[in-house]
Amino acid sequence: MLAALNETQFIGLAPKADFLLFRTDQNGSQEPFFETSWIAAMERADSLGVDIVSSSCVYGVKFNQPQFDIKPEQANGMSISSKVADIALKREF
């Protein structure tokens, strides 16, 4: 909806903005590797000068391989993707 545009009226909130889409998962599966793919996408977006990032990824709650699942007591914001998101949030431009 952000980029929605009708010839006669604006529909979305940013219809003439440029967008980059980085897909960091595959076929809806949850593997530990995809967390590092998300980090790589964040780094790539930064290198391209992206101003705003919107992400809906949740990694680790339930992986396809249960031995990698994160238990509630481990969900403390210390995962590598949480740390990268914190760094990106604090970055000054």
Q: Please state the domain count of the chain.
A: 1
Residue 57 CA to residue 81 CA, distance in Å, equals 10
The Cβ-side half-sphere exposure at 28, using a 13 Å CA radius, reads: 0
pLDDT at 47: 92
pLDDT at 10: 67
Show the domain range for 66. Answer: 5-90
Bigger pLDDT: 79 or 19? 19
Stretch 55-77: mean pLDDT: 76
- Sequence-distant (≥ 6) Cβ neighbours of residue 17 within 8 angstroms: 2, 3
**Residue-wise over 6-16: b if at least 16 C-beta within 10 A, else e?**
eeeeeeeeeee
